[in-house]
Chains A and B, each alone.
Chain A
Amino acid sequence: MPSLKDLRIRIDSVKSTQKITSAMKMVAAAKLRRAQEQAEAARPYSERMNRMLGSLAEGLPTGAGGPALLAGNGNDNVHLLVVMTSDRGLCGGFNSSIVRGSIGIIRRLLDDGKEVKVLCVGRKGRDILRRDFRSLILDTFEEIGRKSLSFADATTVGNRILSMFEADEFDVCTIIYNRFQSAMTQIVTPQQLIPFRATDSHSSEGEDNTVEAEQSEGPKAVYEFEPDEQEILEDLLPRNLSVQLFHALLENAASEQGARMTAMDNATRNAGEMIDNLTITYNRTRQAFITKELIEIISGAEAL
């Protein structure tokens, strides 16, 4: 049986851990709210970008011949995966679920005989992936959105992807991130960026549907283009890539904070339970000691 002192030390240590986890929970909750607001604020841009891209794509001849970012370069051999994780841990299953999803995709692609390259955003994902797929990882972006996530961060990643695409280093680009559904649930979402598939990533966001409805009501407008369509698309598509990345980064940031909040909430509750149990053990032990001492005194007195 542990001594009373050991128990007391144990209780104190769990109590201070509980203080830390509950503080982290509150910080995560505050950050989550900010991340959600940011994601909300960024939504109009990506919606309108989609609408514009839609109008442009309508006017284009279908099939091959379009810009490579839209139509692809005709190959399907080298896949680039952009795995988005966080830089910091203690956020429950957030990182491991993305990594698990990515490993599934990597294995499947490798089994199909494709070549896979991986670009990591966030340190945690790199650390885990490095164990099995060290040779596939090209580079890691760290400290993305450490203070607050800005569009420039997304452009940094976007430019890197673009320059690789122009250098013919890959054929298909897919990003994997956690889509934020609620603080409790995040959904691991793979989204193909190059060649660009008209988004279904927003389908769960109700507002988008109203925009589409609005659009389909009016007569189909025939747009003039200034300069011509090709040139606009050449400008618009790289931009769209960054916008999609930005959107994913924002979702990921919100998910991370949500996951951390839930994890820390659980940890705080577990610590509370542990303290209760330890306190009971402590009291029982104390009682046992007292009883034992009493018995010793009484039997000592009787022996006289």
Chain B
Amino acid sequence: MADTVEFELVAPEELLFSEPVELVVVPGAEGDFGVLPGHSPLISTLRTGVIAVYENDAVNRRIFVSGGFAEVTPERCTVLADEAVALETADRASIEERVKADREAVDAADEADKDNAVSALAVSEALLAALDTAGQA
């Protein structure tokens, strides 16, 4: 059996990531799950969280996703992300900017848009938090 699994991360606007990895941990809706080669076939929804890609038993890359779907087969792990941000290259200042803009949007939103604005804020705050945790690790 191959000792890598083909990991693909796709956002609506582009293919972000496609290469063989040893282990990838995905934030499933009902708990994180790790995908090693030979994983049993699985389709899951994702919650807001961080995808961790492992290489040589250490986290090599962290990617924030705001939600989406994952399809796992023994050879392959495909993540369809609603939005994905690589934490290594993310720019902290612009994310803080975004949190601020979203906060203002929540305050300004009327009843109809309130829910959307609140969930947008939750996503950007989670992104900021993820960035902080990744920075410490």
Contact = CB atoms under 8 A, between A and B. Distances in A.
A52 B69 contact: yes
Contact of B69 (A218, A221, A232): A232
A28 to B, nearest CB: 22
A224 B35 CA distance: 14
B22 interface: no
A235 interface: yes
Interface stretch (A13-21, A37-45, A138-146, A187-195): A37-45
Contacts of B4: none
Interface string A2-44: 0000000000000000000000000000000000001001101
A122 to B, nearest CB: 21
Contacts of A235: 45, 69
A37 to B, nearest CB: 10
Contacts of B14: 41-42, 44-45
B10 A45 contact: yes
Given A226-B30, A232-B69, A236-B69, A151 B43 contact: no
Contact of B12 (A55, A221, A222, A246): A246
A42 B10 CA distance: 9
Nearest to A148: B13
Contacts of B30: 226-227
A222 to B, nearest CB: 6
A128 to B, nearest CB: 30
A130 interface: no
Nearest to A44: B15
Contact of B13 (A41, A223, A224, A227): A41
Nearest to B18: A44
B29 interface: yes
A48 B28 CA distance: 18
A44 B28 contact: no
Contact of A226 (B11, B43, B82): B43
B103 to A, nearest CB: 19
Interface in B48-105: 69, 71, 73-74, 78, 80, 82
Contacts of B11: 45, 151
A199 interface: no
B41 interface: yes
B43 A150 contact: no
B80 A55 contact: no
Nearest to A42: B13
Interface of B: 8, 10-15, 28-30, 40-45, 69, 71, 73-74, 78, 80, 82
**Which 7 pairs from chain A and chain B are nearest by CB?**
A151-B12, A221-B41, A41-B14, A226-B44, A44-B15, A223-B41, A224-B42
16 contacts: A41-B14, A41-B15, A44-B8, A44-B10, A44-B15, A51-B78, A55-B43, A55-B71, A56-B43, A151-B13, A221-B74, A223-B71, A224-B40, A225-B42, A227-B29, A235-B69
Given A41-B14, A51-B78, A55-B71, 20 more contacts: A44-B15, A45-B80, A48-B10, A48-B80, A49-B80, A51-B71, A52-B43, A52-B78, A55-B43, A56-B43, A151-B12, A222-B41, A223-B42, A226-B28, A226-B42, A226-B43, A226-B44, A227-B45, A232-B44, A242-B12
